[in-house]
Structure formats: C-alpha cells, structure tokens
Amino acid sequence: MQAIKDAILQSQQRALGAVNQEQLALYYGIGRYISANTRTKNWGKGFIEGISQQLRKELPGLRGFSATNLRNMRAFYEEWKMLETDNSSVQTDKHIENDDNSSVRTDKLIKRKAVLTDNTTQSNEIRSLQRMNLPDFPVVAFLSISFTHHIAILANVKSYEERKFYIQFAADYKVKTDELVELMKENFFSHQGSLPNNFRQTIPDQLQAFRANAMFKDEYLLDYINTEELFVRDKDRDERVIEQSIINNVKNFIMTFGQDFAFVGNQYHLEKFGVEQFPDLLFFNRELSALVCVELKDGPFKTAYLGQLAGYLRILDDEVRKPNENPSIGIILCKSANKKFVEYVIQDYDKPMGVATYKTSADMDDRLKKLLPPVEDLEKLL
C-alpha cells in the first residue's frame, strides 16, 4: 500500500514539475518578446495594458496575464537572459512578426498567441533555460520553483549570489512565497549561522532547522564579564562568575543572542525519577517557539558536554515544554572549540544542539595588541 502511495505522489510531483517548467518557459518567451518590443520603442505607452485587456477579452477566465504580470515576465527574462549561452536564445519575436518596423497590433498578437504555447517553441525555451551558462548555477532548482517565487526573489534581492541562494533554498525546503519574502526581509542570507550543530538532522521541519541555524552565531563577545574574577583555579567558580555576569547583564546577553529571546531562569530546577538537574541558563525563543538551554563552560569544548546537554533537553521536553511548542534546543557556550571535531561528534545525538564560543573584552584587547606595530616602531615614528 505504501509503495503504491509513494509511486502516486512521486508521479504527481513529476507532473507538477513538468507543468511548472512549461509555465516558466512560456513566461520567459513572452518576457523576451515584450522586452524586444518595449525596449526598442516598437510599442508605445500603454501597449502592455492593451495586450492584457485583449487577452482577457479573447480568452475569458484567463488568469496570470495582467499588465503587472506581463511586466513581471519581462523582468524575469531580462534578469536571467545573461545566463543563456550564445546560441541557446530562441527569438520568440521572430515567430510573432510585427506589422511594420515601428509597431505591432494587439490583434496580431492575439491571432498568433498559439505560437507562444506551441510545444516546439516552449521545448526550445525550456532547453534555453536548462542550458544556463554558469556551472555553479542551480538549474534544477531554478526550474522547480514557481514563477511567483522567482518574482519575489527578483523584487527583494539584487545580488546574484543571494538570488542563487534563495532559489536553491526555496526548492530544497518547499518554502511558501510569503515565508520566503519574510526570510529575505530578515536578510536570512547574511545571517546564516555558522556554529557547528545537528539541527538539520534533529529538527524534522527543515525550515525550522534553517531558522535555528540562522538564529545562533558561532562566536559571541561577552565584554561585560568581569575577567579579573576569572581563572582562580576553581573551574566551577569560574563558570558561576560567567553565569552571574550574564544574569546581571541579561538584557545585553539577550540582545547579543537576538531580540526574540526571553529569559526564563538560571540554574533552572529540573527533576526526573528523583534526580535533580540544574541547567545554567534557560531562554524561550519566540521566533522558534522553543526553549533554548544554554550551558556555560569556561574552558575548551569536551564531548562530555553534549551528553550532559542532551539529558537536560530530554527532561525539558518531557516536563517543561508545552504541547504547542517545538522541541527544545541546546547551546554549549565555551571558551574554544574545534569546529570540525564538533561537527563530527555531534551527529550521533538526537537532540538539536550547537556549540558556540565566547570572547571577553580581555580577549579582544589581545587581538587589538596583535594588530598594533611593535613599541620600538611606534617610538621611531614619534
């Protein structure tokens, strides 16, 4: 039964993909035709509106061919025509001849509208789109997302790399257009997190996983920690100093992490089967609708920290998380970490976790010192 169901769904998906490619090819060809005639001033002002009205008159119930959408088709072609190979361009305007060198009548376009939907012409258009000229361009993703997605991307981002990213992202994670627009407004491309984590493997909703990845950075500057009280040879005391510094400056800490965080408590009391546990810091993130447990470590990352944090997350999910909330997320905040090693060992855990590092103001001072020339050189300059 499941095999039959999967086969049906896969077949439907392939059919929808083919329909989408045909539509993109049609719009791309129409966009080329409109561009060729409007940019060379063959058509006068208001001609696109005239085409739209005539199409709706000739084909009652026709949707998607408003004047705005015809302009979107032109923009779609003009923004991506640079990706065509030299000989792949199919000149649709050759198939729809002008009455003379300066104008084209709307009824001429209507009478020859079949050419725009001709199988041979559209197949050529599809091949034109498939032969994109740059090797790193996501052609499959480009052809699999809707025209609405394409227009949203063109309208909201300008750089080539960002557009490629959002095209691939929309295709991979089946993001709705309005969700994609929100991500672009949040500048998701620039705020992708780089901390080692296992979010994609442990959070079923892949859009949620991407949001979680974008929410956290791989390094934070905690310049309000009192470094004079640290490194007194008592590891637990050092961690309590860090924790207390964060509590005393919890507003700054939240703003460092992001404005959607709300502080729940520190040394939060958990109990299961009579065993008590006390996670260092507990937050709630409104964007992710999830509890975020932060464990503070004053030294380098150790694999044992992952097991400890996974235990906290298990209890939080069972005892604290509300039914409408997403699974809890854990972050280990330590002094240093080997990213490659963390990415390697974290994959075996089934709870969403990440490892970030922090720097204090003293650390930043050392960095600045390294940037300055030697004292002797400064004395010579003076």
Amino acid letter at 63?
Answer: R
* Kind of pairing between the strands at 270-272 and 326-334: unpaired
Query: For residue 231, what pLDDT is reported?
Result: 46
For the chain, give every domain's residue range.
2-131, 134-190, 199-367
Q: Which two tokens stand for residue 141?
A: 């993703």
pTM of full prediction above 0.75: no
Higher pLDDT, 285 or 47: 285
Residue 231: φ, ψ to 5°: 60, 50
Q: Does residue 30 contact residue 73 with C-beta atoms inside 8 Å? A: yes
SS (H, E, C) 268-307: CCEEECCEEECCCEEEEECCCCEEEEEEECCCECCCHHHH
pLDDT tens digits, residue range 128-161? 555 555 667 888 899 999 999 999 999 999 999 9
Query: For residue 363, what pLDDT is reported?
Result: 60
Q: Which two tokens stand for residue 262?
A: 């709300």
Q: Does residue 189 contact residue 166 with C-beta atoms inside 8 Å? A: yes
Assess whether pLDDT exceeds 60 at residue 228: no
Query: For residue 356, what pLDDT is reported?
Result: 92
120 contact partners, CB below 8 Å, separation of at least 6: none
Q: How confident is the model at residue 94 (pLDDT cuts 50, 70, 90)?
A: very low
The mean predicted confidence, pLDDT, of the chain is 77
Q: How confident is the model at residue 23 (pLDDT cuts 50, 70, 90)?
A: confident
pLDDT tens digits, residue range 287-311? 899 999 999 888 899 999 999 999 9
Assess whether pLDDT exceeds 90 at residue 331: yes
The percentage of residues in the chain with a pLDDT greater than 70, rounded to a whole number, is 70
196 contact partners, CB below 8 Å, separation of at least 6: 218, 337, 339, 342, 343, 346, 354, 355
Query: For residue 88, what pLDDT is reported?
Result: 43
Please report, for residues 336, 358, 369, the alpha-carbon distance to residue 257 in angstroms, rounded to integers and kept in the order given: 18, 12, 27
The CATH code belonging to domain 199-367 is: 3.40.1350.10
Higher pLDDT, 16 or 188: 188
Q: Which two tokens stand for residue 74?
A: 């032109």
User: Using CA atoms, how far apart are residues 128 and 121, in angstroms rounded to an integer?
Assistant: 10
User: Using CA atoms, how far apart are residues 358 and 370, in angstroms rounded to an integer?
Assistant: 19
The average pLDDT across 330-344 equals 92
Highest mean pLDDT among 13-27, 89-103, 296-310: 296-310
pLDDT tens digits, residue range 341-371? 999 999 999 999 999 998 876 664 554 445 4
pLDDT tens digits, residue range 167-225? 988 988 888 899 899 888 878 787 666 789 999 899 988 778 888 887 888 888 777 66
Rounded to 5°, angle at Cα 53 from 50 and 20: 105
Sheet holding 261-266, edge to edge: 219-221, 353-359, 326-334, 290-296, 281-285, 261-266
Please report, for residues 18, 91, 351, the alpha-carbon distance to residue 122 in angstroms, rounded to integers and kept in the order given: 12, 11, 48
* Kind of pairing between the strands at 353-359 and 219-221: parallel
The average pLDDT across 251-255 equals 76
Assess whether pLDDT exceeds 90 at residue 110: no
Helix ranges restricted to H, the chain? 2-38, 47-58, 67-80, 92-95, 106-111, 113-116, 119-130, 139-144, 147-156, 160-173, 177-185, 199-202, 206-215, 235-248, 250-257, 304-315, 339-345, 361-371, 375-381
Query: For residue 112, what pLDDT is reported?
Result: 38
Assess whether pLDDT exceeds 60 at residue 107: no
